[in-house]
Structure 1
Amino acid sequence: MGLRELKRERTRRLISDKAFELFTDHGFGRTTVEQIAAAAEVGPSTLYRYFPTKETLVLEFVENSLFGALDWFREQPADLELPDALEQVIGRVLDQMDSNPDRVRAVYELAGQTPSLSAHLTDAIWRWRKDLSVELVRRSSGTSTELTAKLAAGTTMNIIEIVVETWVDHPNGPTVKQLAEKTLELFRDNTIPLPRARQ
């Protein structure tokens, strides 16, 4: 990364960090873009270049975690077994979440209090599921239908969501990795009751 890119990344991170401080202290709705810009010592127009909306300030970390793992998957060789790849995708998302637990908990708390944030988070999750299913179809070489890919993508996202939600709700409980391993074991052992087609 060049000096210019490094400076841009530092500015981006500073804006995001100052915004979270203000959101935590004053609430999302009562914090203005002007207050965030002043705290980060940048102009409002500079802030908007980095973050088009207040919602993107909050959700950037979660979106980067999700779509960064998806980008990694797209770069993997075609012969990578899909079950192994999806398990690694889950692990990569959760590792990112685990790297900044305070930020993740703040995102979920703010989303729970703010309908616009909740809607943006839901939209990001649906976009990720759709993009993952498209990649699964592309990699299947005709052996996987769109329906199968959507089910696999939905299950992958559900695992991530439930692990993170459980972890956020129980800060003194198991770690993200422990919860993920337990969840995957339940799938491997066929412990989870799932609907079946009639015989």
Structure 2
Amino acid sequence: MGLREVNAARTRELILDAALRLFLERGYDATRMEEVAEAAGVGTSTLYRYFPTKDLLVLEPLALRGQMATELRGRPAGEPLDVALGHAVVALLATPRAGVERLRQLTTVVEGAETLQVRLMEEFRRERAGLEAAVAQRLGRPPDDLYCVATARLATLVLELVSDRLGSLPDDPAAAEQQLLALTREVMAGLQAEPPVLPRYEG
């Protein structure tokens, strides 16, 4: 990494640290971008160059960026679909993001701002749609094929179930990753041992 990239990464971290501190102290909605720039010690134009909108100060570190679909497309063609999807789920969970402490802070900010919750849900839906398309491509079916859509959504359901069952993570990143992956394996094994019942209407 060159000097310019190092300086850019440092500036980005300064901005994120300042923004999170203000959001936690004052609330997301009450904090203005000009206040973030001042707290970070950068000009407003610099702030907007790195983060064009305020919501990106929270959402960018949490961005999913299509890791599940990318991982699925890269799996061997002859690999069973359930195994390939398992790797896709783990690939998303294992992707380095913010540290444990910053994730806690980001979660607190999101929980206090309805607009951020909506934007995060949109991010999740985009990730899910990308996985649906990747499943359809792998099976040679249309993107709106019901089997492909349902299969992809079951994979993303694993993420939701893991999130619902996830307690506090240890501060050590390696230990946190191991705990997260262990819980993911546990959830997937439970669903495989006793698959959910699909609704059926006989009226």
TM-score interval, normalised by the smaller of the two chains: 0.7 to 0.9
* Number of corresponding residues: 195
In the alignment, what sits opposite 1:139?
138
In the alignment, what sits opposite 2:173?
none
Query: What's the CA shift for 1:57?
Result: 1.1
Of Structure 1 and Structure 2, the greater helix share is in 1
In the alignment, what sits opposite 2:121?
122
1:28 aligns with 2:31: no
Paired residue type of 1:182: E
Partners of 2:16 and 2:113 lie apart in 1 by 18
- Tell me, yes or no, if the aligned pair for 2:132 and 2:143 is still in contact at 8 Å: no
In the alignment, what sits opposite 2:56?
56
Change (3 A) 1:179 1:129: same
Deviates more, 1:170-179 or 1:18-27: 170-179
- Tell me, yes or no, if the aligned pair for 1:15 and 1:36 is still in contact at 8 Å: yes
TM-score, scaled relative to structure 2: 0.80
Larger relative contact order (Cα-Cα within 8 Å, sequence gap ≥ 6)? 2
Question: For structure 1, which runs of at least 5 residues remain unmatched after alignment?
Answer: none
In the alignment, what sits opposite 2:10?
10
Q: Deviations over 1:117-147 (max 9, x none)?
A: 0110111011111111111111212399721
| Cα RMSD after superposing both structures | 2.9
Paired residue type of 2:132: S
Partners of 1:6 and 1:193 lie apart in 2 by 48
Identity of aligned residues (%): 29
Q: Deviations over 1:20-44 (max 9, x none)?
A: 2222222212222112112222222
Q: Secondary structure at the match of 1:30?
A: coil
Q: Deviations over 1:31-73 (max 9, x none)?
A: 2211211222222222222222211111112214x53444344
Partners of 2:39 and 2:95 lie apart in 1 by 26
In the alignment, what sits opposite 1:182?
186
Q: Secondary structure at the match of 1:37?
A: helix
Query: What's the CA shift for 1:180?
Result: 1.0
Question: For structure 2, which runs of at least 5 residues remain unmatched after alignment?
Answer: 171-175
Q: Deviations over 1:132-177 (max 9, x none)?
A: 111111121239972122112211222112212321xx32799322
Partners of 1:33 and 1:144 lie apart in 2 by 40
